Structure 1
Amino acid sequence: MSEKRITQIEEEMAHLTRAVEDLSDIVARMDTENSLLKHRVQMLLQREAERESQGGGGAVLTDQRPPHW
């Protein structure tokens, strides 16, 4: 194998290593964001369930005419 070919392979390997590291960082960040979003959705669901159990969970029906029509 020529010295030039070895250098090309080493450069390509360095680029691929960097790409893998960048993707790993992105996946880790997305996992953190996903966990946070799951927690927020769970809190919202719990809050809505509490609101419904207290009787204040009436939905606004926009497809019905107001009573004065």
Structure 2
Amino acid sequence: MAKIFVTRGGLYWSHTCVELLNSGHEVAVLDNLSNSSEQALNRVQALTEKTPAFVEGDIRDAQVLDQAF
């Protein structure tokens, strides 16, 4: 099992998260929700019965990255 850090959690990446979680990987998502919403992550949870870790923020923000890791 790998720990995988996804830097977007919107529509397209949510499909990737589903596949990763169903393959037994641990997934963490960092997204600023500028063009997506937490609904995508809720759908991932509904499809996989697993909850990916989620950090809301911008990848350019050092404090957000410290929180994520």
Query: Same fold by TM-score, threshold 0.5 exceeded?
Result: no
Higher relative contact order (CA 8 A, sep 6+): 2
TM-score (norm 2): 0.24
Structure richer in strand, relative to its length: 2
Structure richer in helix, relative to its length: 1
TM-score (norm 1): 0.24
**Structure whose CA Rg is larger:** 1
